[in-house]
Chain A
Amino acid sequence: MLQAELPGARAEVESLASLQHAETPLKRFVALYAESRLALVAAGVLVLIVAAAIAAPWLAPQNPYDLQQLDVLDARLPPGEKSAAGMTFWLGSDAQGRDMLSAILYGLRISIGVGAIATVAAVAIGLSLGLVAAYAGGRTESLVMRVVDLQLSFPSILIALVLLAVVGQGVDKIIVALITVQWAYYARTVRSSALVERNKEYVEAARCLRLSSARILFRHIMPNCLPPLIVVATVQVAHAIALEATLSFLGLGLPITQPSLGLLIANGFSYMLSGKYWISFYPGVALLVTIMAINLVADQLRDVLNPRLAR
């Protein structure tokens, strides 16, 4: 069994041949990425979800937070049922007579927004600290890495929970909490790749040209540290969205006025025991599909961007 020839080896050779036509790195990247059909589908789904989230106010059948459009008589209708005003609740309605489909679209907007903002900010912080740590070395490095190690020895949900327990609820606070739990991953990733890059010849060449440290750091070393960072960041967006949903579900995340998917699921929790599954079920499906699409994209990115698997 072990000696059997590597399956897919021939396919690999063929794809290699086709890759030689790819002239630019971007085309090469796209060609490599497109090798997995599943990853392509995931990327497509992700684009659709993000587009739907951005376009929620125009797509949603009703504005779920405009109280004038809600009717308590429509409360807890199962999927497919018509409201008093004649609108169809494709995914049912919740305890306030809100259309679940609209609530989910608006919820996605908040969930993805919070996750993306927190990740971008955390990447910026982690990237700078990781680069500085690797480049400066010495005390700076050991201080930064000590803090990173310390933080990574605790699960992120615990840190976020404790932080929110101290500072309270709110969009700004949950973003701060998500940044706090994420930056260490980026700092560690960037530092380890920057340590490798620092000793390469092109950096030496740049030093011989007497370029400034800042220029070497940001124009030469940083671009080469990005691929692994992109992979980690993609995975972390999914984590951030899941974490925010969990915290909101526990009642510690977003306030009731900004219902993310987690809060929608929490609202349906109490109705579940009486068999009204849709209030929790569909927001959960939306959350699941989003997280899964991101994870699949990240999986493929890891394969494409991994220099060890460079073909």
Chain B
Amino acid sequence: MLTYILRRLAASAVLLLVMSLLVFVGVYAIGNPVDLLISPEADQKEIERVIAALGLDKPLWQQYLIFLERALSGDLGRSFAFHTPAIDLILSRMPATLELALAAMLIAIAAGIPLGLYAGLKPDSLIAKSIMAGSIFGFSLPTFWVGLMLIMLFSVHLGWLPSTGRGETVALFGVQWSIFTWDGLRHLAMPAFNLALFKLSLLIRLTRASTCEALLQDYVKFARAKGLRMRRVVGVHVLKNIMIPIVTVIGLEFGSVLAFSIVTETIFAWPGMGKLLIDSIQVLDRPVVVAYLLVIVIVFVFINLLVDLVYSALDPRVRLAPGHAAG
């Protein structure tokens, strides 16, 4: 196990290095770094100072080393718009995004698994068919449009929920949370549901498919033959086995929730990293874009590592197979 973790960590480090190289090539070799990283308002003196600091007069491989060194020490440039270090800006927005993503994931899991289980156990009932029809809707509805329609219904017509912002927050462990205040919760409800909808449909379909498959297995027949109650067969034997693909997907999809939060945050003006990214792209605040990129890569590498570890803990069959340590 330890060897496996070490190998995976090494693979992740290599991946990070590759990604930093890609980001570097994107910014320094394809684009013009002078345009990309120096504020258009800077005067000649400032431009020369930054060129020297970034080593833009040196050969490309030396520039990469400088870039790497600066990135490792947490210096990813300063935002043109906010005049603060880009990395601080992103980290300060991160809790809002994580809160939104976690809330969405929670909704998707709490509703998706029971609904999918039901649809799998009674595939021919009317309720199961409506659940599946609903999940096709959830799959097809574009996230951003659902967000707009939610605002139209709950904010404009009914006036129940606020359409923008985070509302009142309280500090816990030095981080601001919306989820612990009533006002914050009201602000969180729509964006979280909006973000959850796609994953909810995905989990319903995945749970249903796994349940259908599991019910045909010998261990279920055996458990039934032992005279166990259906509730125990489903709750223990079936659930335990279908958890393996579900946990994997939940883990992998968490990353995609983080990515899609860019859209949801923009619609609901949720002050997270995603909205910051879109705002930064629109005002050409490129250091923030570059910093976002590196931060999100680290987050993804971490998530993938975590998923693999949980996966190997859940499924003994993959425990000692470190050969396929991709991603």
Contacts and interface: CB of A to CB of B under 8 A. Distances in A.
Interface stretch (A76-84, A130-138, A153-161): A153-161
B145 A284 contact: yes
Contact of A146 (B144, B148, B230, B326): B326
B149 A150 contact: no
Contact of A288 (B27, B140, B156): B140
A295 B145 contact: no
Contacts of B263: 157, 246, 249-250
A273 interface: yes
A233 to B, nearest CB: 17
Contacts of A245: 142, 144-145
Most buried by A among B15, B142, B215, B281: B142
Contact of B142 (A246, A269, A272, A296): A246
A53 interface: no
Contacts of A246: 142-144, 263
Given A157-B262, A284-B145, A287-B142, A166 B163 contact: no
A166 B156 contact: no
Interface stretch (B59-67, B97-105, B252-260): B252-260
Interface of A is mostly: helix
Interface string B260-289: 101100110000000001100110000001
B136 A295 contact: yes
A154 to B, nearest CB: 6
A157 B259 contact: yes
A288 B26 CA distance: 35
Nearest to B22: A150
Contacts of B143: 246
Nearest to B303: A153
Contact of A272 (B144, B148, B282): B148
Contacts of B221: 2
Contacts of B140: 238, 288, 291-292, 295
Q: How large is the interface on B (under 10, 10 to 19, 20 to 34, 35 or more residues)?
A: 35 or more
Interface string B34-45: 000000000000
Contacts of B148: 265, 268-269, 272, 280, 284
Contact of A251 (B277, B282, B296): B282
Nearest to B36: A166
Contacts of B282: 251
B30 A153 contact: no
B300 interface: yes
Interface string A41-78: 00000000000000000000000000000000000000
Q: How large is the interface on A (under 10, 10 to 19, 20 to 34, 35 or more residues)?
A: 35 or more
B141 interface: yes
A126 B272 CA distance: 35
Contacts of B163: 273
Contacts of A162: 289, 293
Interface string A267-304: 01100110101001100100110011001100100000
A166 B260 contact: no
B18 interface: yes
Contacts of B175: none
B152 A277 contact: yes
Contacts of B157: 275
A250 B259 CA distance: 13
Interface string A161-179: 1100110000000000000
A7 interface: yes
Interface in A18-52: none
B220 interface: yes
Interface in B129-154: 136-137, 139-145, 148-149, 151-152
B185 to A, nearest CB: 22
B115 to A, nearest CB: 18
A292 B30 contact: no
Interface in A228-272: 238, 242, 245-246, 249-252, 262, 265, 268-269, 272
Nearest to B153: A277
B18 A153 contact: no
B57 interface: no
A166 B31 contact: yes
Nearest to A277: B152
A195 B212 CA distance: 28
B150 to A, nearest CB: 11
A158 B259 contact: yes
B218 interface: no
A153 B144 contact: no
A2 B215 contact: yes
B141 to A, nearest CB: 6
A296 B289 CA distance: 37
B152 A272 contact: yes
B327 interface: yes
Given A158-B259, A166-B26, A275 B156 contact: yes
A149 interface: yes
28 contacts: A2-B215, A2-B220, A7-B124, A146-B326, A150-B15, A150-B327, A153-B326, A154-B255, A154-B300, A155-B256, A157-B260, A157-B262, A157-B263, A161-B281, A165-B281, A166-B31, A238-B140, A251-B278, A252-B281, A265-B144, A280-B145, A280-B152, A281-B152, A284-B142, A287-B145, A288-B141, A288-B142, A292-B137
7 nearest A-B residue pairs (beta carbon)? A155-B259, A153-B327, A292-B140, A149-B326, A284-B145, A155-B256, A158-B259
Given A153-B326, A154-B259, 18 more contacts: A2-B220, A149-B326, A149-B327, A153-B300, A155-B255, A155-B256, A157-B260, A166-B31, A246-B144, A246-B263, A251-B278, A252-B278, A273-B151, A275-B156, A277-B156, A287-B142, A288-B145, A295-B139
